[in-house]
A and B are shown apart, each in its own frame.
Chain A
Amino acid sequence: MPYLGSEDVVKELKKAMCNPHIQADRLRYRNVIQRVIRHMTQGLDMSSVFMEMVKASATVDIVQKKLVYLYMCTYAPLKPDLALLAINTLCKDCSDPNPMVRGLALRSMCSLRMPGVQEYIQQPILNGLRDKASYVRRVAVLGCAKMHNLQGDSEVVIWGPWVNELYSLLRGPGSNNCLKGRLEENSEAGRGAVVHPIKHQFAHHLLKTISKLDQWGQGEVLNFLLRYQPRSEEELFDILNLLDSFLKSSSPGVVMGATKLFLILAKNFPHVQKDVLVRVKGPLLAACSSESRELCFAALCHVRQILHSLPGHFSSHYKKFFCSYSEPHYIKLQKVEVLCELVNDENVQQVLEELRGYCTDVSADFAQAAIFAIGGIARTYTDQCVQILTELLGLRQEHITTAVVQTFRDLVWLCPQCTEAVCQALPGCEENIQDSEGKQALIWLLGVHGERIPNAPYVLEDFVENVKSETFSAVKMELLTALLRLFLSRPAECQDMLGRLLYYCIEEEKDMAVRDRGLFYYRLLLAGIDEVKQILGSPKSDPSLGLLEDQAERPVNSWASDFNTLVPVYGKARWATISKLQRTERHGPELPNPASFATSGPLIPEENKERIQELPDSGALTLVPNHQITAECFEKTWLSLKVAHQQVLPWQGAVHPDTLQMALQVVNIQTIAMSRPGAQPWKAYLSAQDDSGCLFLTELLLDREHVEMQVSVKQNEARTETLSSFISVLETVIGTIGDIK
Chain B
Amino acid sequence: MSASAVFILDVKGKPLISRNYKGDVAMSEIEHFMPLLMQREEEGALAPLLSRGRVHFLWIKHSNLYLVATTLKNANASLVYAFLYKTVEVFSEYFKELEEESIRDNFVIIYELLDELMDFGFPQTTDSKILQEYITQQGNKLETGKSRVPPTVTNAVSWRSEGIKYKKNEVFIDVIESVNLLVNANGSVLLSEIVGTIKLKVFLSGMPELRLGLNDRVLFELTGLSGGKNKSELEDVKFHQCVRLSRFDNDRTISFIPPDGDFELMSYRLSTQVKPLIWIESVIEKFHSRVEIMVKAKGQFKKQSVANGVEISVPVPSDADSPRFKTSVGSAKYMPEKNVVIWNIKSFP
Contact = CB atoms under 8 A, between A and B. Distances in A.
Among A212, A219, A320, max chain B CB count under 10 A is at A219
B156 A330 contact: no
A533 interface: no
A34 interface: yes
Contacts, number: 211
B148 A219 contact: no
Nearest to A581: B53
Interface stretch (B118-126, B168-176, B327-335): B118-126
A324 interface: yes
A567 interface: yes
Given A322-B190, A329-B46, A569-B49, A103 B149 contact: yes
B320 interface: no
Contact of B154 (A179, A215, A365): A179
A245 B249 contact: yes
Nearest to A578: B51
A150 to B, nearest CB: 9
A223 interface: yes
A305 to B, nearest CB: 12
A138 B238 CA distance: 30
Contacts of B123: 216
A256 B78 contact: yes
A26 interface: yes
A282 B51 CA distance: 31
B269 interface: yes
A100 interface: yes
Interface stretch (A295-303, A661-669, A704-712): A295-303
Contacts of A564: 76-78
A219 B142 contact: no
A121 to B, nearest CB: 14
A74 B240 contact: no
Interface stretch (B12-20, B218-226, B283-291, B299-307): B12-20
Contact of B134 (A100, A328, A566): A100
Interface string A199-223: 0000000000001111110011001
Contacts of B293: none
Interface string B97-128: 00000000001100110010001101111110
Interface string B292-321: 000000000000000000000000000000
Contacts of A234: none
A37 interface: yes
B158 interface: yes
Interface string A568-592: 0110000000100110010000000
Interface string B238-270: 111100011001000000000000000001010
Contact of A113 (B23, B142, B185, B236): B23
Contacts of B149: 99-100, 103, 133, 135
B154 A176 contact: yes
Interface string A230-272: 0000000000000001001111110011000000000000000
Contacts of A608: none
Given A294-B48, A565-B76, A322 B182 contact: yes
A287 B238 CA distance: 12
Contacts of B111: 37, 66-67, 70
A294 B120 CA distance: 23
Contacts of A215: 82, 241
A77 B51 CA distance: 26
B51 A570 contact: yes
Interface stretch (A139-147, A450-458, A472-480): A139-147
B76 A223 contact: yes
B153 interface: yes
A74 B27 CA distance: 10
B77 A565 contact: yes
B75 A138 contact: no
B144 A566 contact: no
A171 interface: no
A62 B47 contact: no
B215 interface: no
Given A66-B115, A564-B78, A135 B153 contact: yes
B239 A250 contact: yes
B158 A214 contact: yes
B199 interface: no
A512 B119 CA distance: 61
A interface SS class = helix
Contacts of A134: 151, 153-154
B322 interface: no
Nearest to B118: A216
A111 B191 CA distance: 52
Given A38-B107, A219-B1, A257-B76, A330 B154 contact: no
A587 to B, nearest CB: 13
A33 to B, nearest CB: 10
A185 interface: yes
B interface SS class = mixed
Contacts of B85: 292, 295
Given A37-B108, A185-B120, A567 B74 contact: yes
Nearest to A295: B81
A625 to B, nearest CB: 42
Given A66-B115, A220-B122, A298 B235 contact: no
B185 A357 contact: yes
B83 interface: yes
Contact of B83 (A182, A216, A285, A287): A216
Contact of B81 (A220, A282, A292): A292
A63 interface: yes
A297 B48 contact: yes
Given A138-B154, A179-B154, A286-B269, A185 B112 contact: no
B230 interface: no
A43 interface: yes
A178 interface: yes
Contacts of B54: 581-582, 585
B53 A177 contact: no
A544 interface: no
Nearest to A260: B76
A107 B156 contact: no
B148 A319 contact: no
Given A98-B147, A100-B134, A177-B155, A34 B81 contact: no
B208 interface: no
B44 interface: yes
Nearest to A107: B119
Contacts of B342: none
A555 B76 CA distance: 22
Contact of B158 (A142, A177, A283): A177
A292 B49 contact: no
B180 interface: yes
A149 B17 CA distance: 25
B82 A295 contact: yes
Nearest to A245: B245
Contact of B120 (A43, A145, A176): A145
A570 B108 contact: no
A43 B15 contact: yes
A37 B18 CA distance: 12
Those 4 A-B pairs whose CB atoms lie nearest each other, nearest first: A134-B154, A253-B79, A250-B238, A216-B123
19 contacts: A38-B107, A43-B15, A63-B108, A100-B134, A107-B119, A135-B149, A142-B122, A145-B120, A146-B120, A182-B122, A216-B79, A253-B82, A256-B76, A293-B48, A293-B60, A328-B46, A564-B77, A569-B49, A569-B77
Interface of B: 1, 15-18, 20, 22-24, 44-49, 51, 53-54, 56, 58-60, 74-79, 81-85, 107-108, 111-112, 115, 119-120, 122-127, 134, 139-140, 142, 144, 147-149, 151, 153-156, 158, 180, 182, 184-185, 190-191, 235-241, 245-246, 249, 267, 269
Given A27-B142, A176-B156, 17 more contacts: A60-B144, A63-B140, A100-B149, A135-B153, A177-B155, A178-B125, A179-B154, A181-B122, A214-B127, A216-B122, A250-B239, A250-B267, A256-B76, A294-B48, A328-B46, A330-B45, A570-B51
